[in-house]
Amino acid sequence: MNLELYQFSSTTVLLLLAAFYGGTYLITTFIKKGQEDTDAFMVSNHSVGFGMGAASMTATWIWAASFYAAATSGYTYGVSGPLHYGLWGALMILFIYPFGRRFRALAPNAHTLGEVIHARHGSSSQLILAFSNLLGSIISLMVNFTAAGALVSVLSPLSFQTGVIIAGVGVLSYTLWSGFRASVLTDFAQLIALMAIAVVIIPAVLFAMGGPAEVMNGFDQLTAEQANLFSTEAILHQGAPYFVAVLAYAIGNQTISQRLFAVNEKHIKPTFLTATLGYGAIVIGLGMIGLMALTNGVEPLNGDMNNLIPQMVSSYLPPVFIGLFFILVIGSLSSTADSDLSALSAIVMADVYGKNIARGKADPKRMLFIGRLTMIVATMLGIVFASFSLDILVMLVFVGALWGAIVFPVIASCFWSRVTNRAFTTSVLAALVLFCVARFELLEMTGAVALLFELLASIGGGVVIGLMAFGFLGQRIGFAAGIVAGLALMVFATGFLREYTVLLSSLVAYGVSTLVCVVMSLMEKQQFDFDLIKQRVGNYDDRFDAPAATAAIKSTHLAKES
């Protein structure tokens, strides 16, 4: 079945965009300060409440790709597709919780995870983490601007570039002055709108198609794998690679760790649990639209899967609902884009300027200037890269590998006193090299070479399971689960894992970084004192005010003495 797309006039789309970004800007004027401070700009002074924190976390992770990828997964893999995308994505938020509590305990006043690693190891390890975060946030920014341009060009006569520029300028306008505080506040408002619209649109499409009975009738058109909730094909191609990426994205992405350090410490647990449930419910629901399209025999327009949701909404709903859908997507991509801008500014302010240029003598006013300048430059780069319509898949693969390679060294550095800076950097670089060999098939995956990589991947699989068990159930169960899972993979996965390149290479990154990091750390005799991290990571405004405060105290003493 071929469904056409509805188109608004240029004026209507411009008015919708003006209403969305104008309204969002007005919301931020309520929190605008005449004199912003650096800690508020980066992490809201570590005092974000439960409701705001959970809403911000949920809105940040529901980005443009969540719409299109969830629907694509439902359309491609049938009944299990939405679960394999939405469920694992939701767990991505949950899995950082136990490790996040450790990060906060080590450095209550941190702004980035890079600051913790700098206090633990020094500059080289921290800059690896900062570089991966910068690259990931720029790519995310570009993807969201690209989605805005594509949506505007599909639903109106306006050009792709017009949509990209309006989205970039709109997001920058309300984020530039108040930074992270503006991002959290607008995330809250955007999530309320997202949930309200999603609750209306998804059932509306279902009943416009003919209701649940019509969807059930369409199950006859599904293949055996698509009709199977436990489809092996869906697990190996979609579920397992995404599951492996869960920890990598949770640890490597500054937008999550920034909220971890921003939320009031006593609200961390309910915040992460609520965000997990909220993300899972909304994204699995969006994936069901793809399943509806599959059961109804809909063909993606021009063969592009990204057209599935716009096609379904355009064909089954009146223009008012299409307008709501337009706002829904613009809101979701904007909430992630403003989080990316806040993350990028915090990384440059704290990791680059604060730790490596100012070296502990950071000027808060200069930090704020650098943070805002970073937002402007990042927006320009995002607009330019989005306009080039670059192939983002290769860049996403590279960033995913980098994040996968740093997961074990980062976590081990926060729990095990023997991990050294040399072990951290060497293990990440070694893992990245071998990941590239496997992912881009630089060596032919046959014979002994394939077997070697499958064994490394098996270790990586054991590491993933072990870390997750360790986070929630403790050290002994974590070790036991990791060893059992690794041995099981060595027995059952060797011989066929080589056929699944994405999964193999992702697991290799985990396995190699763990192996190298553990062996090199055992060869050293260092015993790090974790209490030093708390002493080395603090609030920048307090430090700036310290001399003035000291001078004031001295003046008071002098006045009393005289």
Per-position pLDDT tens, the chain of length 562: 666 677 889 999 999 999 999 999 998 888 777 677 888 899 888 889 888 888 888 888 787 677 777 888 889 898 888 888 888 778 877 888 888 889 999 999 899 999 999 999 988 898 888 888 888 888 888 888 888 888 898 888 999 899 999 999 999 999 998 888 888 888 887 787 777 777 888 888 888 888 888 888 888 888 888 888 888 888 887 777 777 776 777 777 888 888 889 998 888 888 988 988 888 888 888 888 888 889 988 888 777 777 788 888 888 888 888 888 888 888 888 888 999 999 999 999 999 998 889 877 888 889 999 999 999 999 999 999 887 766 555 566 666 777 888 999 999 999 999 999 999 999 999 999 999 899 888 998 889 999 999 999 999 999 999 998 998 899 999 999 999 999 999 998 888 888 888 889 889 999 999 999 999 999 988 889 999 999 888 888 765 444 444 444 344 343 333 3
pLDDT score recorded for residue 548: 43
The one-letter amino acid at 222: L
pLDDT value at residue 4: 67
The distance in angstroms from the start CA to the end CA of the chain is: 92
> What residues have CB less than 8 Å from 278, skipping those under 6 apart?
54, 55, 58, 191, 195
Angle at which helix 160-175 crosses helix 10-28, to 10 degrees, equals: 10
pLDDT in the model for residue 55 = 87
What DSSP letter does each residue of 198-267 carry, written as one string?
Answer: HHHHHHHHHHHHT-HHHHHHGGGGS-HHHH-TT-HHHIIIIIHHHHHHHHHHHHH-HHHHHHHHHB-GGG
- pTM, two decimal places: 0.85
**Distance, CA of 196 to CA of 543 (rounded, Å):** 44
Q: Are 164 and 148 in contact (CB under 8 A)?
A: yes
Q: Which residues lie across from 299 on neighbouring strands?
A: 2
At residue 394, the pLDDT reads 59
How far apart, in whole angstroms, are the C-alpha atoms of residue 439 and residue 454? Answer: 13
* φ and ψ of 323, to 5 deg: -65, -40
Helix 50-61 / helix 268-295 crossing angle, nearest 10 deg:
30
Taking the CA atoms of 65, 71, 77 and 81 in sequence, report the sign of the dihedral they define: positive
Q: For residue 8, how far is the Cα from the chain centroid? A: 32
What tokens appear for 449 in the block? 């070479």
Note the pLDDT of residue 521: 95
Q: What is the pLDDT of residue 561?
A: 34
How much is the CA Rg of the chain, to the nearest whole Å? Answer: 24
Q: Report the alpha-carbon distance of residue 110 to residue 58 in Å, rounded.
A: 22
Structure confidence at residue 2 (pLDDT): 62
According to the model, what pLDDT value does residue 3 have?
63
Residue 2: strand pairing partners: 299
Q: Which residues pair with 263 in a beta bridge?
A: 48
In degrees and rounded to multiples of 5, residue 494 shows phi and psi of: -70, 130
The rounded distance, in Å, linking the Cα atoms of 108 and 261 is 7
Please give the pLDDT value at position 379: 95
325: which 2 tokens? 């859908």
Whole-number pLDDT of residue 173? 93
Q: Which of 464, 481, 485, 462 is nearest to 473 (CA)?
A: 481
Instruction: Supply the pLDDT for residue 322.
Output: 87
Nearest partner of 111 among 191, 65, 43, judged by Cα: 43
What confidence score (pLDDT) does residue 46 get?
A: 87
CB burial of 347-359 (b: ≥16 within 10 Å; e: otherwise) equals: bbbbbbbbbeebe
